[in-house]
Chains A and B, each alone.
Chain A
Amino acid sequence: MKDLGLHRFEQRKATIGTVLDHLGEVRLVDSGREKRGRLLRLELHAPGHGLPVQGTFIYAEWYRRVAQGWRLTRYQYDYLDRRLGGRLGYHWHTLTRRSAAYHAHCEQVLGTPTVQHYRSYEVDLLEAHEEFVRRYAADEPIDCSGLRPLI
């Protein structure tokens, strides 16, 4: 992702809030706007409106201030399936004995990963959300079988 100017950053924040708001109750926390580092954290609990939570979506993006605005530096996008159990996540951050790496987390039973990190690639928040929502809406269980461990 290219650097985001101040206006583009605010546009992106609003777009993400709007997209997530279709599905359930959203809480967005924007920290550090006046500082050198900024964290955008979104939590979505679906379906909301007094019904038991069936899906939790937690997205966090860390930005570093640059001359023209903000540069995405790390992210963590996670979907927790509360009905069938399980977790799918796309992350970009430093791992032990490694520099920042794109990787995935996949747990068919929440809290019991068989592999710590899977290979992955760069994903945008809205791309990850689209995939998670499709799985959630289709009642599709988390399936890790197509993923390869990060070596």
Chain B
Amino acid sequence: MTLKLDKPFYSPAEVGNLAGLHSSTILNYIRGGKLYAVKLSERTYRIPLRSVLKLLDPESVAAPTVVERPDADVRISDADREPDLVDA
């Protein structure tokens, strides 16, 4: 399945439509921990694009990049420099 999703967040009703499920089922997924959502209020959830893809098209979601540098020299004093984030 190739999904074309172009929004950063979706409502439970929108995910229900995409999945062919009732929105109450999506809410049950969220409450049961099967689907990640950001809870904005008692009745408002926003489901991130990545979370939607994990539910509907898991093969399209790559695992996080993990880089291990066990022998790298780390100086604690580096933490005292404020990061330059403007171009981050």
Residues of A bordering B, CB below 8 Å: 17, 20-35, 37-39, 43, 46-49, 51, 54, 56, 58, 60, 62, 64, 73-76, 78, 80, 87, 91, 93-95, 105, 110-111, 133-134, 137-138
* B42 close to chain A: CB less than 8 A: no
Question: Do A32 and B8 touch across chains, with their CB atoms under 8 A apart?
Answer: no
Task: Tell me the nearest residue of chain A to B9, going by C-beta.
Answer: A137
CA distance A95 to B80 in the complex (A): 7
Bound together, the chains give a CA A75 to CA B88 distance in angstroms of: 17
**Chain A positions within 8 Å of B71 at CB level:** 32, 34-35
The answer to whether A80 touches B85 (Cβ under 8 A) is yes
Chain B nearest CB: distance from A138 CB in Å?
5
Chain B residue numbers with a CB within 8 Å of A32 are: 69-74
A38 to B68, CA, bound (A): 11
Contact A73 B85, beta carbon cutoff 8 Å? no
Interface residues of B (CB under 8 A from A): 5-6, 8-9, 36, 38, 40, 46, 48-51, 53, 60, 62-80, 82-83, 85-86, 88
Complex Cα distance, B38 from A4, in Å, reads 29
Within 8 Å by CB of A27, from B67, B78, B86, lies B67
- Chain A residues within 8 Å of B62, by CB: 25
Contact of B79 among A26, A31, A75, A80 (CB under 8 A): A75
What's the nearest-Cβ distance from chain B to residue A52, in Å? Answer: 9
Contact B51 A78 (CB under 8 A): no
> A51 to chain B: which residues have CB within 8 Å?
6, 8, 49
| A76 lies within 8 A of B79 (CB) | yes
Cross-chain contact A26 with B65 (CB below 8 angstroms): yes
Q: Which residues of A contact B78 (CB under 8 A)?
A: 39, 62
| Complex contact A93–B40 (CB within 8 A) | no
